[in-house]
Amino acid sequence: TQLLEQSPQFLSIQEGENLTVYCNSSSVFSSLQWYRQEPGEGPVLLVTVVTGGEVKKLKRLTFQFGDARKDSSLHITAAQPGDTGLYLCAGVGYGGTASKLTFGTGTRLQVTL
């Protein structure tokens, strides 16, 4: 059962464009993580958002955690070819289940010149 839905599933844009990826759930999480995965590699953590309503910026990437702690978004400004990859959100549970990450369905981003 997939508890985290990401949209869009695929995104192909040109360098310099802006984009937003959404991650929605019916469940509440203690925190939300965003990963990027490139071919042949495991996911790499980009950020963890912990507080409802929190906004975090990482250079051209802006992450937001919804007030109700059920949804999150990732906004990329002026995308570059190096941003190409699979973006995954992951919900962190509470207490003893916190290590049992629940991953989203994924958004595959391709940025072309």
Query: Contact positions toward another protein, by CB under 8 A?
Result: 1-2, 30, 40-45, 48, 88, 90, 92-93, 95-106
- Asked whether the CA dihedral 37, 42, 45, 50 is positive or negative, the reply is positive
CB of 17 or CB of 38, closer to another protein: 38
CB of 30 or CB of 112, closer to another protein: 30
CB of 28 or CB of 78, closer to another protein: 28
Minimum Å gap between C-beta 104 and another protein is 7
Number of helices (H) and strands (E) in the chain: give both, helices first: 0, 11
Burial of 38-63, coded b for 16+ CB within 10 Å and e otherwise, reads eeeeebeebbebeeeebebeeeebbb
Minimum Å gap between C-beta 26 and another protein is 17
